Amino acid sequence: GDSVTQMEGPVTLSEEAFLTINCTYTATGYPSLFWYVQYPGEGLQLLLKATKADDKGSNKGFEATYRKETTSFHLEKGSVQVSDSAVYFCALSDAGNNRKLIWGLGTSLAVNP
Amino acid sequence: ETGVTQSPTHLIKTRGQQVTLRCSSQSGHNTVSWYQQALGQGPQFIFQYYREEENGRGNFPPRFSGLQFPNYSSELNVNALELDDSALYLCASSLAQGAETQYFGPGTRLLVL
């Protein structure tokens, strides 16, 4: 079945450092890909998405490119801030009519001042 | 525009009891999905409701049941609670069946003792 694999955390960075969180997927068909963020004590917020190969999703300085050839959707940010500290989840929506989301385990990011 | 709301925010139950969790979808959304997020894990799809009918179900036993009302709000019921049911329960709404993007509520944290 479809699955998502994320790099394990926790990831600890200094403010203004470059961030990469790796995400690869296995899917039949052509899923849409998502990054969601979960701040401490809160629910999940959509960060960005891409719906087809070579699409780039971007939001709040974060970017991810849908790479069909490597089945990847890595999250990047050029300069992280303390306020970016959160858990980041990579997900795909399956090809069924309910488009249920299949999730990675999440990667915890801590940014120190 | 009102986002997805869930109630209650926290709940403590004992093993064997029953629980009902509630979700109000975002304005204009007719599809609601429920997910279970165990501590340190990614969410797992429980089921989806579209126009008051179940539209897909994940790998959860029948003691997990749901309902959707004509105003598109939804309930998740869990009977015969087990310790492993302790988790964050997330509700997500989307614009229509098959819509790619789901918007999440803050979740209900259930603790089963």
Question: Residue A98: closest CA among chain B residues belongs to which residue?
Answer: B98
User: Quick one: pLDDT at residue A94?
Assistant: 80
Nearest neighbour of B100 by CB, restricted to A43, A93, A106: A93
Query: How far apart (Å, rounded) are the C-alpha atoms in residues B81 and B17?
Result: 5
The model's pLDDT over B45-103, given as tens digits with 9 standing for 90+, comes to 999 999 899 999 999 999 999 999 999 999 999 999 999 999 999 999 998 777 778 99
On whether any CB of chain A is under 8 Å from the CB of B35, the answer is: yes
* Option in B42, B98, B103 nearest A99 (CB): B98
The pLDDT value recorded for residue A8 is: 85
Query: Considering chain A, what is the average pLDDT of its residues?
Result: 93
Cβ-based contacts of A99 with chain B (< 8 Å): 94, 98-100, 102
Q: What is the rounded CA–CA span in Å between residue B71 and residue B93?
A: 13
Q: Between chains, do A101 and B99 touch, taking CB under 8 Å as contact?
A: no
In angstroms, the CA B102 to CA B10 distance is 22
pLDDT in tens, A29-72: 889 999 999 998 888 999 999 999 999 999 999 999 999 999 99
